Structure 1
Amino acid sequence: MTTTTPAAFARTVRGAGPGLLLAHGAGGGIEANYGPIMEELAAQHTVVGVDYPGSGATPNAQGPLEIDELVEQLVAAADAEGLDTFAVSGYSLGGPVAIRLASRHPGRVSSLVLSATFAYADTRTSLAASIWHQLFESGQHAVLAQYLNLMALSEPVLNSLTPAQVHTAAEQLAPAIPVGTGDQVDLVRRADVRGDLAAIAVPTLIVVTTGDPLISPSLQRELAAAIPTAEVAELPTGHLPFAERPQEWVKLIGDFLARNRKH
């Protein structure tokens, strides 16, 4: 377990209205993953998110990350903001966090939105995460940035760029890779919330990123099939809906939350 205290997790709070908790992806952060749609989300909700250890302003962990700890940090942030109930949006690694949160605190979660995510890492995802982890830990961050462009962008978007543009994008990305990336990607390989799925009883939206090279659409659909209350929306994007199709992504989220808001 980490030695990070609850107060050490950097918190983002925006907007007013019904609660909406955000759980970000590995190697990302609240601003990196939700920044492009934050204004729209905060227009209708009190949005609360925490950055995992080694992302944003949260200090690096002193040991392996665990899903349950990330869940409790997010719930603690909701408590601090006076939110008794809330919807939860989980992106990528944030999906298992959101699922476990709904499982452990069923009376507090009103609905779930799970985007580009998984209940466990299949062999393909585990291999991708292993290479990601090795490149990060060996300090090959420029090569890692190229690999992330390959594994995160949809084929049409990647092919719309020239090799020179991809090289430039990787050079810009490399210095911005969070220091906690290794720990977070390690958790991707270990996370397994399949045992939590059958008990989820709240309205759940699965946003399947159909051009996703990192988390295959089939793994995302497998998740949807295991949640009794799930509905599926398909978004023609790679693993970064906030970069490729932010307006379509936020509309899916916003419309679903509005339909399932408890009065």
Structure 2
Amino acid sequence: MTSHTTVPSVPPVSSLGRVVRGAGPGLLLAHGAGGGIDPNYGPLMDGLAAHHTVVGPDFPGTGRTPRATSPLSLDGLADALVATAVEEGLETFAVSGYSLGGPVAVRAATRHPDRVTALVLTASFAAPNPRLRLAVRLWRDLLDSGDAGRLAAFGLLVGMGAPTLDGLGADDVDAALRGAAAGVPAGTADHLDLIDAVDVRDDLPRLTVPTLVVSTTQDSLVTPALHRELADAIPGARLTGLASGHLPFAERPAEWLEIILGFLAAAGRVPAGAAGRGLAP
């Protein structure tokens, strides 16, 4: 583990494509590996934008952003996200990080503490454990094989919670497989490489902003043990449960939205570190 010093408050220019919606307190979004703002946060966007000025940058190789020509770094990606928010007129903002976006959000908060006012970390991790590393290795192998069908099947198996997947009819499963096979971003391999390099465990004790960790309790990709490890290491963080697999935007979007908005509304009234920790059903 390595520590990372605070950098100047004005980050470099961002080349990330982005969505900008709404009005109100700033909210910066950090999406997951092989995802994008539209697939990961699209179902929540109207609700988030009703209360916040939302800036959603697409990571390199997803959505509106071309693939990077060099390997991604956590520092570089965190700085680019912060730069995107600043370019859109946000001086300070909360950050919602999903999956890989969680450690990106954490690094943004430790590198730019004068900018980040709160964190919501969903289905996320501080460093990959052996199970996640193994899943990423298989994900990469299937991606390299070019077999879109098998890659889509893997995504459904590790992405959806068992109750949701078991409740789908055959036609629904086929439709989900077709959609997953058609939507693999060009930068996915780069995101997977970054997961292998992620380690923000030294950053966590340095966080001083109100933080909520949302544990997707049926998650078999980034498992609840990783969510709890994340929350336990952040001073004053709250841990709350959401009955979903790794894809809350597909399985429980309304509940996820309610959790995010409720916490951000309270975070504006609660001093950092004063919220306490509690696990909700």
* Fold match (TM-score > 0.5): yes
Counterpart Cα distance in 2 of 1:25 and 1:202: 22
The answer to whether residue 37 in structure 2 is matched with residue 38 in structure 1 is: no
Shift in alpha-carbon separation, 1:164–1:43, aligned structure 2, 3 A: closer
Match of 2:78 in 1: 71
Distance in 2 (alpha carbons) for counterparts of 1:155 and 1:11? 33
2:54 alignment partner in structure 1? 47
What whole-Å deviation, never above 9, does each CA across 1:110-153 have from its counterpart, x for those lacking one?
Answer: 11000000001000001001111111122122110000000000
Instruction: Report the Cα offset of residue 58 of structure 1.
Output: 0.6
Matches within 5 A, 1:156-195: 156-163=163-170, 165-195=172-202
In percent, how many aligned pairs have the same letter?
Answer: 54
- 8 Å contact from structure 1 (residues 200, 229) kept in 2: no
AA matched with 1:244 = E
User: Which residue of 2 is the match for residue 220 of structure 1?
Assistant: 227
Q: Is the 8 A contact 2:15 2:80 kept in 1?
A: no
Alignment match, 2:120 = 113
Q: Distance in 1 between matches of 2:106 and 2:24?
A: 23
Moved more, 161-170 or 51-60: 161-170
Report deviation, 1:38.
Answer: 0.5
Q: Secondary structure at the match of 2:27?
A: strand
Q: Does 1:211 find its partner at 2:205?
A: no
CA contact (8 A) 1:152 1:212 kept: yes
Letter of the structure 2 residue corresponding to residue 251 of structure 1: E
The runs of at least 4 consecutive aligned structure 1 residues that moved more than 6 Å come to none
Counterpart of 2:95 in 1: which secondary structure?
strand
Whole-Å separation in 2 of the counterparts to 1:187 and 1:166: 30
Query: What are the within-5 Å matches in structure 2 for residues 229-248 of structure 1?
Result: 229-248=236-255
Residue 167 of structure 1 and its aligned partner are, at CA, apart by 3.3
**How many residues in Structure 1 have an aligned counterpart in Structure 2?**
259
TM-score normalized by structure 1?
0.95
Give a deviation string over 1:165-202, Cα, whole Å, max 9, x none: 42332122111111111111121121111110000011
Distance 1:240 1:213 in 2: 11
Deviation at 1:164, TM superposition (A): 5.2
CA RMSD of aligned residues (A): 1.5
Q: Which residue, out of 162, 174, 177, partners 1:155?
A: 162
- Measured in 1, the distance between the counterparts of 2:247 and 2:32 equals 10
8 Å contact kept, 2:14–2:83: no
Tell me what 2:7 maps to: none
Give the whole-Å Cα distance in 1 for the aligned partners of 2:15 and 2:112.
22
Following superposition, the deviation at residue 70 of structure 1 comes to 1.1
Q: C-alpha offsets along residues 21-67 of structure 1, whole Å, 9 cap, x if unaligned? A: 00000010011100000111001111011101110021111121111
Q: CA deviation at 1:262?
A: 6.0
Q: Secondary structure at the match of 2:54?
A: strand
Please identify which structure carries the higher helix content. Answer: 1
